[in-house]
Amino acid sequence: MLDSPLEFSVVRSHHVPWLWDFFQALVERGDDKFFHPHPLTADQAHSISLHEGRDCYCVAAVAGRVLAYGMLRGWDEGYQIPSLGIALHPEARGTGLARAFMLYLHQMARCQGAPRVRLRVFHDNLKARRLYESLGYVFDPPTDEQLVGYCDLKDKSHE
């Protein structure tokens, strides 16, 4: 899968067809049931590539293929603590890419001056919860079907 260099970057116009393919793979797998921060459409991929606010939309791509997609959102609405969202291509799961990409997103948040980040995860998504906890996320007591976790970006001991 990684015969070419892996690139972590902000989504740009050349990523649009790759991102659309990625969105389709998520939908085909049924992952849109759990990852639905916005419509997973070609129009949305194009819109993301044109975004000019503080919010960040990023990809991990190799050889014209998106393997991971992540975002840091909330700054554009005035929040100091962005919400982090991440999804991996079904074929990239279990490779260690999620950890590396999360660290990249954490660094992007630090560069924007965020003191910490937050995310939501379903209770039964044990693999993701273990990853997030290993990265320093602490979860609030559950109030619905998802947990809300926060990671202090000033504490780098877990990274």
CB 120 within 8 Å of CB 82: no
Say whether 71 sits in a helix, a strand or coil.
Answer: strand
Count of Cβ atoms closer than 10 Å to residue 45 Cβ: 24
pLDDT tens digits, residue range 48-80?
Answer: 999 999 999 999 999 999 999 999 999 999 999
Q: Token pair for residue 66?
A: 């998106």
pLDDT tens digits, residue range 1-36?
Answer: 556 899 999 999 999 999 999 999 999 999 998 899
Q: How far apart are CA 147 and CA 149, in angstroms?
A: 6
pLDDT tens digits, residue range 89-140?
Answer: 999 999 999 999 999 999 999 999 999 999 999 988 999 999 999 999 999 9
Q: Token pair for residue 78?
A: 């005035």
